[in-house]
Amino acid sequence: MENRAAATVDLRLEQARRLLDQDDLGLDALGAAVGLSPTHLQRRFRDQFGLTPAEYRAQRRLAALKRGLRGGQSVTHALYDAGYGSPSRVYEDGAARLGMPPLAYGRGGEGLEIRWSLVHTALGQALVAATERGICAVALGDDAAALERELRTEFPRATLQRVDSGRDAFLAPRLRAVADALARKSGSVPVELVGTAFQLRVWQALMRIPAGETRSYAQLAASLDAPKAARAVARACASNRVAVLVPCHRVIRGDGTPGGYRWGLPRKQALLASESLSSHAQTKGRA
């Protein structure tokens, strides 16, 4: 009987998701449409999909806005087609998630100034890129040309300026902070996170995992009050652009194996080993 009731709720949640894909329904209207109370729907929907209905609706609007802008629509047409009620709403909501005004995003980052450089770190070569608000990308790799191509693909029309790390007063301290973070030295640097509402929640949760500790995808999902969203958490980790500063390397599989890593499994293993050793040394020193 309990299994049948749970299956019925799952079907209603899936129906709610499909309705949100088709229409901009509020929580009360959505609950009435699928036969669940608003409170119950809110809680179970978040458990199932990792987002509240409102966050899911906002994510769908943002995805539609991106498609419209990339497809050449004007901002006005794209925002109304995506379901935004006014230009002010799209700039308030969209800019917070895109990391730039929607028009700039639609033009491939046109008008955005990004300074970047390569720096040698404890894990090898890293490309570090920053806007005026903070670090927007840290990529690890052995091929400098491939790292640059990746950045240019992400922001094809931004003003990308490669600078000498030692001569640029703006970027130099940020490069040092990234190098220190990879070498397990203390320090901090502002980070600009650009993603969906759920991705931002996951990345912020990653930054709360202490160095020397790990979490499974399921544990991280549970910490977000979304215990059934382990796969969505894994996708958000894989979408992280800011290596080490947003420590997706601290998330492993439930069986204790390291799992994947955007910048290569050997680097993930090296990071975890270094953090574990450093944490053990600090604990021993306090004893």
The pLDDT tens digits for 42-70 are 888 887 777 788 877 777 777 677 667 66
Residue 258, pLDDT above cutoff 60: yes
Nearest in space to 59 (alpha carbons), one of 103, 101, 93: 93
CA distances from 159 to 12, 82, 92, 129 (A): 47, 28, 23, 12
Percent of the chain with pLDDT over 90: 18
DSSP 8-state code for residue 160: E
- Percent of the chain surpassing pLDDT 70: 73
Q: Can you give the pLDDT at residue 92?
A: 47
Same domain, yes or no: 277 and 219: yes
Residue 163: CATH number of its domain:
3.30.160.70
pLDDT of residue 70: 63
* Diameter of the chain measured on Cα atoms: 70
Residue 249 pLDDT class (50, 70, 90 cuts): very high
Domain end: 87, 106, 125, which one?
106
190 domain residue, yes or no: no
Q: Do 11 and 89 have their domain in common?
A: yes
- Would you say residue 188 lies in a domain? no
Per the prediction, the chain carries an average pLDDT of: 78
Instruction: Give the pLDDT confidence score for residue 211 in this predicted structure.
Output: 86
Residues 244/245/250/253 CA torsion (nearest 10 deg): -80
248 among known catalytic residues:
yes
Residue 49 placed within a domain: yes
One of 128, 248, 271, 272 is an active-site residue; which one? Answer: 248
Q: Which pLDDT score is estimated for 221?
A: 92
Q: How confident is the model at residue 96 (pLDDT cuts 50, 70, 90)?
A: very low
DSSP 250: G
Q: Where residue 282 falls among pLDDT bands split at 50, 70, 90?
A: low
Query: Using CA atoms, how far apart are residues 227 and 229, in angstroms rounded to an integer?
Result: 6
Indicate if the alpha-carbon torsion angle 133, 98, 235, 16 is positive or negative: positive
Token digits of residue 256: 């204790």
Domain count, the chain: 3
Is residue 191 domain-resident? no
Mean pLDDT of 161-178: 77
Provide the domain limits for residue 252: 197-286
Last residue of a domain, which of 123, 157, 182? 182
Q: What is the CATH number of the domain that holds 278?
A: 1.10.10.10
At residue 173, the pLDDT reads 81
- Is the domain of 119 the same as that of 25? no
User: Is residue 208, in this structure, part of any structural domain at all?
Assistant: yes
Residue pair 138/245 in contact (Cβ under 8 Å)? The answer is yes
Least confident of 74-78, 123-127, 238-242, 251-255: 74-78
What's the whole-model pTM score? 0.62
- Are residues 91 and 153 located together in one domain of the fold? no
